Amino acid sequence: MNKQAPALYFLKSRNAQEKIEKLQRIIYQHYINKEKIFIHVNDDFAAKFVDELLWRWPKDSFLPHAINSEKTQICISDKSKNLNKAMVLINLRSTASNLMQNFSFKYDLFDQSSPEKQKLSEQRMQEYKKNGIETQLL
């Protein structure tokens, strides 16, 4: 029997530093493979936070990205539309993403940095499973 890869990977993190490191690793991995990435965030504040993070990392180079842009390899947005026609979805919203279709790679955070964030992560995982999306913790 041939087992398929999970439809969605949850990036497990116990603190803010681990969360940032895992996100950076995933973003960079897909970036060097020349795959477009859509980072789905809650709001404009979160988009600006991720934007600042990508301006500062990696230290010796730059990952080209933009907020709400169709013409970039890495798009950060709170819009419920795959603006840059990405293959990779990274959900940083507090709720389950409604953009699961048409992405080859899908990621979410399983944030254990506080009881509240862990509960939200568990709720998203249950929502995905309820909708028939297989998940795996990384």
Q: Which two tokens mark 133? A: 């999306």
Better-scored residue on pLDDT, 59 or 124:
124
> pLDDT tens digit string along 11-34?
999 999 999 999 999 999 999 999
What is the C-alpha separation between 55 and 3, in angstroms, rounded? Answer: 38
pLDDT at residue 5 tops 80: no
Q: Is residue 3 part of a domain?
A: no
State residue 126's pLDDT score.
Answer: 96
pLDDT at 57: 72
CATH code, domain carrying 125: 3.40.50.10110
Residue 55 has pLDDT above 90, yes or no: no
CA distance 114 to 61: 32
Range of the domain at 99: 8-137
Query: For strand 37-40 and strand 88-91, is the pairing parallel, antiparallel, or unpaired?
Result: parallel
**Given this model, what pLDDT does residue 6 score?**
61
- Domain-located, residue 102: yes
Check whether 10 has a pLDDT greater than 70. yes
In a domain, 40, yes or no: yes
Give the gyration radius of the chain's Cα atoms.
Answer: 14
Query: Is residue 2 in some structural domain?
Result: no
Q: Is 15 inside a domain boundary?
A: yes
Residue 119 lies in a domain: yes
Tell me whether residue 1 is in a domain: no
The dihedral of CA 62, 42, 34, 129: what is its sign? positive
Number of domains in the chain: 1
Say if residue 4's pLDDT is above 60. Answer: no
CB 89 within 8 A of CB 10: no
Mean pLDDT score, 31-52? 96
pLDDT tens digits along 60-114:
667 889 999 999 999 999 999 999 999 999 999 999 998 988 899 999 999 999 9
CA distances from 92 to 23, 64, 80, 98 (A): 10, 19, 13, 12
Residue 106 resides in a domain: yes
